């Protein structure tokens, strides 16, 4: 068990201008489950591979426990990794796959067998120990990859999108199992995914990356409730937060013909850069109001999910100078009698508005 710390760690690929990972600072506590999340190419996998020793660190350093491992090869880092495609050795049985690292570490045959069997039991793989990976289903292979990591009892688990090759249903099942397993073993874990739902459900804390830069690292609750900037606000949550940009006017932000109310003090600071303000509100923070009250929108599509319904709408009177990044999404009670084409008026809950400086994209409280 150990803490992990990235200190100003950067990775610049040869022949590339922009760093893949740019001065990453991240402290991970002993036993913590930290998720790195972001769109593809954001540097999350590179960060993980830097921690694994598979990718060089061009500047800055990486510390595991109290050891600076920046220049150590993977085998000296006491880490175990679960790969996206599992990377099971095709010519070895499940047992040999799981015991390979122990064998290399010079652990006796009996000890190896004991530990592999124990891990196999946890992962419900006991019946498959003599099979080759080819003879296993995708879910079983995934568990072998997990087993290979846990038999080593390492200081840190590294997981690189370990669920992305499973089908949707199995993925949901497995993600709770992995989270539970990690809590039980108490091993510090760094987990990479592009799926924000996975990140929110699994992580103690979630680090959001974009273009190699850390945007925000906090608990799922804080990320959701107080996103640090426009990117995090739009990335976390499904459907995404509604974000509209407009001019700061007296009493709020002008969106089309309506004004979204923002407290004066907040508004002043948010408009400081260029007079424009980005406001965000989540689909569930929207109420349907009476005619003429709030934002006038036209319904494009109604999505009935059973437990809720989502209305995909656009501003009914959007003049060209109103920038809105996407349609406005509204969550309503299921079976709300709303049809596409219908005009509605939206009001936002008090205090549910997230306010960002439109220029710097940073949150203003």
Partner 1 sequence: MATLAIPATDTGRDTPPAAPATRRRGHRGGSKAGKPGPVTYTLLTLVALVSIFPLYWTLVAGSHTNAEIAATPPPFLPNASLFDNFRAALDQAPIGKAIINSVLVSGSITVGTVLFCTLAGFAFAKLQFRGKGLLLSLVIGTMMVPTQLAVIPLFMMIAELQWVNQLQAVILPTLVSAFGVFFMRQYLISALPNELLEAGRVDGASTFRIFWSIVVPVARPAMAVLAMLTFLTAWNEFFWPLIALTTANPTVQVALAGLGSGYVPQRSVIMAGTLLGTLPVLIVFTILGKQIVGGIMQGAVKG
Partner 2 sequence: MTIASGTVREAAIAAPPPAPAATSPARPRKRRQLTRNRWGYAYVAPFFLVFAAFSLYPFMYTAWVSLHETSLSNINGGTWVGLDNYRNLLQSEFFWNAARNTLTIGILATVPQLCMALGLAHLLNYKLRGRTFFRTVMLMPYATSIAAATLVFSQLFGREYGLINTMLEAVGLQAIDWEAGTVSSQVAIAVIVTWRWTGYNALIYLAAMQSIPGELYEAAEIDGASKWKQFLHVTIPSLRPTILFTIVVSTIGAVQLFGEPLLFAGNGTTSGGSSGQYQTLGLLMYQQGWSNFHIGQAATTAWAMFMIILVIVGVNAVIGRLRARADR
Give whichever of 224 and 312 is closer to partner 2, judged by the CB atom: 224
Q: What is the closest distance, in whole angstroms, from the C-beta atom of residue 315 to partner 1 in the complex?
A: 43
Give residues in contact with partner 1 (CB under 8 A).
Answer: 52-54, 73-75, 79-81, 83-92, 100-101, 104-105, 118, 121-124, 133-140, 143, 148, 165-167, 169-170, 173-174, 177, 180-181, 184
**Residue number, 25 or 127, with CB nearest to partner 2:** 25
Cβ 65 to partner 2 shortest distance, Å? 9
Non-local CB neighbours of 70 within 8 Å, separated by 6+ positions: 57, 60, 61, 62, 63
How many Å apart are CA 225 and CA 221, to the nearest integer?
6
> Which CB, 186 or 251, lies closer to partner 1?
186
Stretch that binds partner 2, among 108-116, 149-157, 179-187, 276-284 (CB under 8 A): 179-187
Residue with smaller CB distance to partner 1, 166 or 344: 166
Spatial distance between the Cα atoms of 360 and 290, rounded to a whole number of angstroms: 35
Say how far apart CA 310 and CA 239 lie, in whole Å: 9
Please name which of 157, 150, 156 lies closest in space to residue 125, comparing C-alpha atoms.
150
Burial of 16: CB neighbours in 10 Å, binned 0-12, 13-18, 19+ = exposed
Specify the residue, 166 or 259, whose C-beta has the smaller distance to partner 1.
166
Backbone angles phi, psi at 172, to 5 degrees: -65, -40
Pick what 58 binds: partner 2, partner 1, none; C-beta below 5 to 8 Å, kind-dependent: partner 2
Among 70, 266, 336, 360, binds partner 2 (CB under 8 A): 70
What is the full DSSP assignment across 94-115? HHHHHHHHHHHTT--HHHHHHH
**How many Å apart are CA 84 and CA 88, to the nearest integer?**
11
Site membership for partner 2, residue 60 (CB under 8 A): yes
From the list partner 1, partner 2, none, partner contacted by residue 330 (C-beta under 5 to 8 A by kind): none
CA distance linking residue 297 with residue 344, whole number of Å: 5
Give contact residues for partner 2 (rule: CB under 8 A).
Answer: 3, 5, 7-8, 25, 27-33, 56-61, 63, 66, 68, 70-71, 180, 183-184, 186, 204-205, 219
């Amino acid at each position: 068990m150990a803490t992990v710390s990235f200190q100003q760690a950067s990775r610049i690929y040869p022949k590339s201008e922009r760093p893949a990972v740019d001065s990453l600072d991240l402290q991970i506590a002993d036993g913590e489950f930290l998720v790195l999340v972001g769109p593809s190419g954001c540097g999350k996998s590179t960060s993980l591979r830097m921690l694994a020793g598979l990718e060089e660190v061009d500047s800055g350093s990486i510390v595991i426990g109290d050891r600076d491992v920046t220049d150590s090869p993977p085998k000296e880092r006491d880490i175990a990794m679960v790969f996206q495609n599992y990377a099971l050795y095709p010519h070895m049985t499940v047992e040999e796959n799981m015991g390979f690292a122990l064998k290399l570490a010079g652990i006796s045959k009996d000890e190896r067998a004991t530990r592999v069997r124990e891990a196999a039991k946890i992962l419900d793989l006991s019946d498959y120990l003599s099979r080759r990976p080819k003879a296993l289903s995708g879910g079983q292979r995934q568990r072998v990859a997990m087993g290979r990591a846990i038999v080593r009892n390492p200081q840190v688990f590294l997981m690189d999108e370990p669920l992305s090759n499973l089908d949707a249903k199995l993925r949901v099942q497995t993600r709770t199992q992995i989270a539970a397993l990690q809590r039980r073993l108490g091993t510090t874990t760094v987990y990479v995914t592009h799926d924000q739902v996975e990140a929110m459900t699994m992580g103690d804390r979630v680090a959001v990356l974009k273009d190699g830069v850390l945007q925000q690292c906090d608990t799922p609750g804080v990320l959701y409730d107080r996103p640090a900037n426009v990117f995090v606000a739009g990335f976390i949550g499904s459907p995404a937060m509604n974000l509209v940009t407009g001019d700061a006017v007296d009493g709020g932000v002008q969106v089309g013909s309506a004004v979204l109310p923002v407290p004066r003090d907040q508004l002043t600071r948010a408009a400081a850069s260029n007079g424009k303000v980005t406001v965000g509100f989540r689909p569930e923070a929207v109420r349907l109001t009476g005619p003429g009250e709030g934002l006038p929108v036209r319904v494009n599509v109604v999505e009935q999910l059973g437990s809720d319904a989502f209305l995909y709408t656009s501003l009914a009177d959007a003049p060209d100078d109103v920038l809105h990044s996407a349609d406005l999404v509204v969550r309503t009670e299921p079976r709300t009698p709303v049809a596409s084409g219908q005009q509605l008026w939206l009001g936002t809950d008090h205090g549910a508005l997230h306010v960002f400086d439109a220029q710097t994209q940073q949150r203003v409280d």
